[in-house]
Amino acid sequence: MSSSELHAARAIVTCAGSIARQIDARAVMVYAAALPDLQELLEQVPPPIRLILIHAYGEAPPDPDDERVRHLEVPRVQLTRMDQIKMATVLGFSQRLLDGGDSFVALSGVAGKPVDTVMVMRVGAEYELFQTVGQPKIIEHVRRVVFQRVLSIALELANEGREGKPTGALFVIGSIRELRKYTEQHIINPFRGYLERERNILDDRMRNTVKEFASIDGAFIIKGNGVIVSAGTTLRPDIGGQDLPQGLGARHASAAAITASTRSIAITVSESTGAVRLWRRGRMITEIEKAPRAPLNSINA
């Protein structure tokens, strides 16, 4: 880190604190590895504004003795500045660190460098960020940790693919009683016959298994408690989705349609672009795009 980068990062931290105070922000969100001085930011952010420290899975986050600090774990994937914040916002919302309508200040930058960008956001105010305002709570019958795990696996698939090749996928999470009416199994279900505790997506051993089966055409059907019901499943919903963006194919149309027909959440991974999209009530509510290939220093923006 050069002295000029450090000087600029500290100026951005001061600016972020000032903005947060002036707009009465709910939180300041920042990637911990990109922060030049945590104590300096804490001094800039007075109560009741909380500080959300983002860190990748497996990293040891700083643990300041301050009740305002919250920790948010995110997948270790390569994303643009904006999509770093989108991912963190979705996960922060699912963990109730942010609520619909909350304003917050986000700090981000490029991989392996200190913060160089400050953004002011309002949850739900921008379509491309996260339009959950006016929607039912995202975890009404889906455990938050299950949603987080599925999103994490989807983002890893988007970045890693399978054996270095792009892989598309469709995950549907919800009540199996509702979903069963709209699904058909045209191939042998690889999860059939196993005990539920052996096929729960929260089991770390399932991570690679799911990635392997992602190459099968069709959807993963997952209960709200994390039990994987099936893979390679064909969806036959009653109605179509709304406002399907142009250029999206059958996988995305199915995600929109199944969430319009049931109280479910769908997550798609685009095979062509690596974009991860979240679907609810028949429409796309956020999109996280894969960043151009960069050094494997990942998200420490």
Range of 88's domain?
Answer: 3-122
Residue 297 lies in a domain: no
As for how many domains the chain has, the answer is 2
* Residue 155 and residue 111 in one domain: no
Q: Determine the straight-line distance between the first and last CA of the chain, rounded to whole angstroms.
A: 13
d(CA 296, CA 2): 21
CATH code of residue 171: 3.40.1700.10
* Residue 46 and residue 157 in one domain: no
For every one of its 301 residues, what pLDDT tens digit does the chain have, with 9 covering 90 and above?
578 888 899 999 999 999 999 999 999 999 988 888 888 888 888 899 999 999 988 787 777 788 889 999 998 888 888 888 889 988 888 888 988 788 999 998 887 788 999 999 887 654 344 444 444 455 457 888 899 999 999 999 998 887 777 789 999 999 999 999 999 998 999 999 999 999 999 999 999 999 999 989 999 999 999 999 999 999 998 776 666 777 788 899 999 999 999 989 999 999 988 999 999 888 888 899 887 664 444 444 4
d(CA 121, CA 100): 11
* Of 122, 154, 180, the domain-final residue: 122
* Residue 78 and residue 178 in one domain: no
* Residue 114 and residue 148 in one domain: no
Residue 131 lies in a domain: no
Q: How many CB atoms lie within 10 A of CB 193?
A: 8
d(CA 264, CA 173): 6
Residue 264 lies in a domain: yes
* Residue 199 and residue 107 in one domain: no
